[in-house]
Each structure stands twice: as structure tokens, then as C-alpha cells.
Amino acid sequence: MPTIGIVAGEASGDLLGSHLIRALKAQRPDLRFVGIAGPKMQSEGAQSLFPMERLAVRGLFEVLRHLPGLLRLRKQLLRHFLDNPPDLFIGIDAPDFNFTLERKLKRKGIRTIHYVSPSIWAWRKGRLGKIKRAVSHMLALFPFEPALYEKVGIPVSYVGHPLADIIPLASQYQTSREQLRIRDGLAVIAMLPGSRQSEVEQLGDLYVKTAKKILQDQPNVQFLVPLITRETRDIFQQVIYANQAEHLPIKVMFGHAHLAMAAADAVIVAAGTATLEAALLKRPMVITYRMPRLSWIFLKRMNYLPYVGLPNILAGKFVVPELLQYEATPERIAETALKLISDRELVKDIEQQFTVLHQQLRQDTASKAAAAVLQYL
């Protein structure tokens, strides 16, 4: 039975991996997948040798704290694949973990595919040499990425983004509001402080204070806060109590992020994949982020793009505002969100630009990725 080694590092990678495995098995039902997989990949038949949560660490200094365990895990995984060589290895995202693993496997004659280009276009372009030594083929989600790899002779395929296939092209604004039973005339603001506990700890207090500021100028408003784990919901509820904000119209939801964003007049969102989801849902947003001070200082020195939000990066300009670190104050976020709610012409323009973006990214990603993979088997 042909075996594909596969490693995903977090929830977004698990989603990508599950779609890819399904598309591959549709053409090659005899394939076996072994490595590190989340629940979605496992439901498609992947065998996980270690829990995926052990890789889900974010932030420079947070990674340093977990480094001994990550190095030990990678060593164990490498030993498994050298003792049981797969016909092909696919690393899904988690570049700092996967590239080293891929380089060592490639050196032993195992072909390697990396799914999701790291953000070399934002910083660390010097990584291209390391990537060339590690990967036999790169699968890129964004249309401007292939040229960067072709320039240095790395085989690459543009496959689009799977979220663009999943999310309908037409706006879901009205149907989502009806589904949530939101009355006419009520302004809705979705607040997404991130999926990790550390992100909710960094942004939860800021978002609750922002809600208080917005209510001073717009009392006819409902806040929706979709959170996917019990731990993140508990953290956010504790922040509400700490701010004596139990009376605020804040509805903490168990998941349903797409529904909350689709129904929103404005979205306040942490930088990350959720910004792309909001764009594909055609909703105006304020992109925010805060991180530990030392991590921020280090990243600011490395970074040379003027924006961090995926919608702005893909457009090559500021389509939506970004308020990061010290600029992310309740006053500024509230003011910016209220402008989005009130300026209908601005919102219409944002929706049109996001529709164009959606069409560019809609490529039947899983099928294209599977086709690129199958040529190596």
C-alpha cells in the first residue's frame, strides 16, 4: 500500500489536509497517510502518531519556551520516517518544524511537498535557499507567490485557497441575520480575538473595552464573539466579569464564526486566517493585533511590508484599516468600526474589492493540489 507521510501543525492545516486527503483518495483509494494529523484529517483516514496540539505554538518567545519538546518530537518523527520510508512526504504549513524535517527526508531520497508557502513575501526572503534544499515541490495558496519560487528554480503550483471554494461568492449578510434572528435596524459587530488562548488573553480585554466605547455612540448594537474552545470562551467570559460588563449586549457563541461575520455590519478581527474569511464573506473589518512586547519589537525589525492583514497583502494596498500593538486602543478601534458602519459608499467599495479577490482565489484547491501531488507517486 503506497504511504504518504503527512504533518499538519494546527487547525487550518488540518482543514487543508482533510480536503487534500479526500481528493487524493478519490483517485487513489489505496493510499495510506501517516504522521501528525488533527481530527478532520483523521476522519479522512490519516493515522496520527502524535497529538497535533503539540505543534500549535505561536510567537517567537512562546516557541522558545516549548523548543525542547518540539525538537524531541521532530527527532522521533524523523526516526519513524527513516525506519518506515514513505513514498512521499507532505508538510502542511508549520514551516519552522516541517522544513527541517523535509530537508533531512529529501537528503535520504524521499520526495517532499510543502503545502502553503510561508510568508517569505512579508519577511525572511533569505529562506528561499533553505526551502530549495527542503522541498521537491511547493503548493502556493496565493497568486503572487509562484513567481518568487520560479525565480530560484523551486517547482511550484498555484492551487488557490480552499476557503474561497467553501464560502459562496454571493453575500450571506441577509440570510445570516435571519438565521441569527437579528431584528432589522440593529447594528451587528462581530469580534474575533483569535483561536488560541494566548491571543484571547492579549485581545479579550481590548475588545470588551472597545465594545463599551462603541455603545457610548451607538447604543443600538449587538456584539457577536464566536470562540471555538471552552478554554477561550472561559477566558473571554472572565474578561467580561473583570470589566463589570455583564450588562453589555455581547453574545459569546460556541463556534459559528462564519455565521457571525456574515451577519455583521463590521468585523473586529485579530490578524490571521480569520481576516481572509471576513474578506471572502465580503464584510468590512478592522484588523487588530497585540503580542508580547519583545516579540513585537523583534518582528517589527524583521518586517518590511506596510500591512499584516491578508486582505491588504493580497490587494497590495490598505483596503481595510489595521490597528496593531500600541495603535490598538479601544478609542481608535471603536472610532474606526463606527465609521465602517456609517459609511455606506466605503462599505460598497470594500465589498466589490473583496468579490474580485474571492474570484482570484477560487481555484478548486483540493483537486489542483491533488494533481500536483499525484505526479510524484
Query: Which CATH superfamily is 173-361 part of?
Result: Glycogen Phosphorylase B; (3.40.50.2000)
Q: CATH classification of 3-160+362-374 is 3.90.600.10, yes or no?
A: no
Are 109 and 87 in contact by the 8 Å Cβ rule? The answer is: no
Q: Which residues contact 206 (CB under 8 A, 6 or more apart)?
A: 193, 288, 290, 328, 329, 330, 333
Q: What is the pLDDT of residues 112-139, one digit of tens each?
A: 999 999 877 655 566 788 899 999 999 9
For 249-272, write each residue's pLDDT tens digit.
999 999 899 999 999 999 999 988
pLDDT band at residue 306 under the 50/70/90 scheme: confident
Q: Is the pLDDT of residue 354 over 60?
A: yes
pLDDT computed for residue 261 by the predictor:
98
pLDDT of 67 higher than 80: no
pTM, full prediction: 0.84
Start and end residues for every CATH 3.40.50.2000 domain found in the chain: 3-160+362-374, 173-361
Taking a C-beta distance cutoff of 8 angstroms, is the pair 141, 148 a contact? no
